[in-house]
Amino acid sequence: MRALCWHGKQDIRCDTVPDPKIEHPRDAIIRVTACAICGSDLHLYDGFMPSMESGDIMGHEFMGVVEEVGSENKALKKGDRIVVPFTITCGQCEQCRRGNFSVCERSNRNKAMADKVFGHSTAGLFGYSHLTGGYAGGQAEYVRIPFADTTHVKVPEGVTDEQVLFLGDIFPTGWQAAVQCDIQPTDTVAIWGCGPVGQFAIRSAVLLGAKQVIAIDRVPERLAMAEAGGATTIDFSKESVVERLNDLTQGKGPEKCIDAVGMEAHATATLDSIYDRAKQAVMLESDRPHVLREMMYVCRPAGTLSIPGVYGGLIDKVPFGMAMNKGLTFRMGQTHVARWTDDLLKRIVEGQIDPSFVITHTVGMAEGPGMYKTFRDKQDGCIKVVIKP
Amino acid sequence: MRTRGSDQARALAQGLGWFSIALGMAEVLAPHRVTRATGLHGHERLVSSYGMREIATGIGLLTAKDPAPWVWGRVGGDALDLGTLAAGVAGPDRERSGIAFLATLGIAALDIACALALQRPSRPAMAAFRKRSGLPKPPGAMRGAASDFVVPADMRTPEALRPWGSR
């Protein structure tokens, strides 16, 4: 089969690789009908995530039709149409029973490595390094789904792939970012980053009833899409984020702040951004936490910082004393996808939201490697790439 | 909208910025050589002033967030240069002035193409992004549409930080 494989920094190739096989009785094999390039795939593309190996199949946002099921998998049958959450969940461990699916205790088959790096292992993820299990990703014609009886969302008739594909990651991720803000009708929610997760966080905050949603980015088409979703926008390349946020909140700052940027915050003219670039260049810091620092500074005391943006390692010069004295609450983590998918699928089917609004490019598998660069460089108005194998 | 084309146009504008500065420096620092090469003997002060204009335009092109007005500024400057060189063609060194005129005409065509490319991709595409809400009604009408959703207990604001009235 054909698949998009990682071969090094900024080197993704469309390779021919062996078809996957059932390895465990709970497995399933699906034929992928649609998959997407996620913003967090770019951290792999740019070489910021450790423990990738040449030939690893990329992709953790995908859906398809079940082709084969393992002998103990009674939840699925051949022909079922499913979306696959990017977090692999056993459904039986203590964390899964609590709904903390992204820290499933059993699905990471490289648990020993993750234990050493994180203290305790987190869930296995598709196509996201060997630290998270080394599972083959979904940017392929076929994928093996481990724990498939609990790691799937069945798709009803009458909705298109484009409407439900993002239930696997970016829609629940934006939703959880807003949910963990515990939005009140009096709240201003400020969202850094108007990429796909930021776009869903904006709409989630609106649907959950925020008084005001403010979106921060510098890419014109992303800001335009944020406005379409109901946000007041700030172009950080043209105006001061701190001053505008204070203007829009009568000098008090937003109650809730969402970091939908993560480890690769783009350099601005600020001193801390230049500092991060310099430290990263000489490998004294792995991530660039400009957004974290800015959120801690502008957030209203007793406010909440929600962090769906991915961080991979070490950050420096984070003003934790400021956060402590302001009594800020931090909420973060990979998304507990399965917690939200039933509710979000219902909202899609009822027409409360159509997630396909975010798709700007649909291509075939062979064009995938080129689209990584287009997406990374925000060329051609690219916000979300869907690949049809 | 930042398209592939407009990125190329921005790169071209940067190149034109450096070209402006290089040409301007030559005109300011060595006006005699420039007038000799272009058949404009006796117009050194005029060429020096054109050099100042080129340097200012170059700096503008390299530092502006939106280079389009500066590229159009170059087009205006090209018109002035062509007018001056046309007068030179009628003078004693018409061959050199004629060659310089044709070269400037080529540069002017490049400037115009760059200015048009910087403008072209923006408005209709941006309008399309402004329609991509994903919501069935205007956002104002959808505010709170998911208020039936109950935030799980483990994701609620800690009790100590909730307003007194909502505990």
Residues of A in Cβ contact (< 8 Å) with B122: 220
Confidence at residue A237, expressed as pLDDT on a 0 to 100 scale: 85
* Dist. CA A162–CA B47, nearest whole Å: 61
Cross-chain residue pair A182–B149, CB shorter than 8 Å: no
A residues 35-74 near B, CB within 8 Å? none
Q: Tokens for B152?
A: 């799980």
Cross-chain residue pair B3–A381, CB shorter than 8 Å: yes
Cross-chain residue pair A182–B155, CB shorter than 8 Å: yes
Range in A297-301, A382-386, B66-70, B74-78 with the lowest mean pLDDT: B66-70
Q: Which tops the pLDDT comparison, A8 or A313?
A: A8
Confidence at residue A222, expressed as pLDDT on a 0 to 100 scale: 95
* Dist. CA A335–CA A244, nearest whole Å: 30
Spans of all domains in chain B: 4-127
Cβ atoms within 10 A of the Cβ of B8, count? 13
- In Å, how far is A67's CA from the nearest CA of chain B? 32
Residues of B in Cβ contact (< 8 Å) with A209: 143-144, 146-147
Confidence at residue B3, expressed as pLDDT on a 0 to 100 scale: 41
Backbone angles phi, psi at A117, to 5 degrees: -80, -45
At A141-150, the pLDDT tens digits run 999 999 999 9
Residue range A93-110: average pLDDT? 96
Confidence at residue B121, expressed as pLDDT on a 0 to 100 scale: 52
Average pLDDT in chain A:
94
> CATH 3.40.50.720 in chain A, residues?
171-332
Residue range A144-161: average pLDDT? 97
Best of A97, A165, A183, A324 to mutate (most B CBs within 10 Å, chain B) = A183
Per-residue pLDDT of chain B (167 residues; tens, 9 = 90+): 344 346 678 889 989 999 999 999 999 999 999 999 998 888 999 999 999 999 999 998 888 777 889 999 999 999 999 999 988 888 788 889 899 999 999 999 999 999 988 876 544 468 889 999 999 999 999 999 999 999 999 998 877 777 776 55
pLDDT more than 90, % of chain A: 86
Backbone angles phi, psi at A187, to 5 degrees: -80, 145
Q: What dotted CATH number matches A2-168+335-388?
A: 3.90.180.10
Q: How big is the A-B interface in CB pairs under 8 Å?
A: 116
Confidence at residue A70, expressed as pLDDT on a 0 to 100 scale: 97
Confidence at residue A91, expressed as pLDDT on a 0 to 100 scale: 96
> CATH 3.90.180.10 in chain A, residues?
2-168+335-388
The answer on pLDDT for A350 being more than 70 is: yes
Cross-chain residue pair B126–A331, CB shorter than 8 Å: no
- What number of residues does chain B have? 167
Confidence at residue A269, expressed as pLDDT on a 0 to 100 scale: 62
Cross-chain residue pair A209–B131, CB shorter than 8 Å: no
Cross-chain residue pair A203–B125, CB shorter than 8 Å: no
Confidence at residue B141, expressed as pLDDT on a 0 to 100 scale: 97
Confidence at residue A284, expressed as pLDDT on a 0 to 100 scale: 78
Q: Does residue A240 belong to the interface with chain B, where contact is any CB pair within 8 Å? A: no
Confidence at residue A316, expressed as pLDDT on a 0 to 100 scale: 87
Cross-chain residue pair B142–A210, CB shorter than 8 Å: no
Handedness of CA A368, A370, A376, A380 (dihedral sign): negative
Cross-chain residue pair B158–A357, CB shorter than 8 Å: no
Cross-chain residue pair B147–A343, CB shorter than 8 Å: no
Q: Tokens for B14?
A: 């940067």
- In Å, how far is A136's CA from the nearest CA of chain B? 31
Q: Does residue A207 belong to the interface with chain B, where contact is any CB pair within 8 Å? A: yes
Residue A331 CB partners (closer than 8 Å, separation 6+): A180, A181, A304, A305, A306, A307, B155
- In Å, how far is B120's CA from the nearest CA of chain A? 13
Backbone angles phi, psi at A32, to 5 degrees: -75, 130
The answer on pLDDT for A68 being more than 60 is: yes
Cβ atoms within 10 A of the Cβ of A182, count? 22
Nearest to B158 among A329, A355, A356 (CB): A329
Range A171-332: architecture per CATH: 3-Layer(aba) Sandwich (3.40)
Q: Tokens for B133?
A: 């809400």
Range in A44-53, A82-91, A239-248, B62-71 with the lowest mean pLDDT: B62-71
At A169-214, the pLDDT tens digits run 999 999 999 999 999 999 999 999 999 999 999 999 999 999 999 9
Contact call for residues B15 and B74 (beta carbons, < 8 A): no
Cross-chain residue pair A357–B133, CB shorter than 8 Å: yes
Q: Does residue A180 belong to the interface with chain B, where contact is any CB pair within 8 Å? A: yes
Residue A304 CB partners (closer than 8 Å, separation 6+): A180, A181, A182, A255, A256, A257, A328, A329, A330, A331, B157
Confidence at residue A121, expressed as pLDDT on a 0 to 100 scale: 93
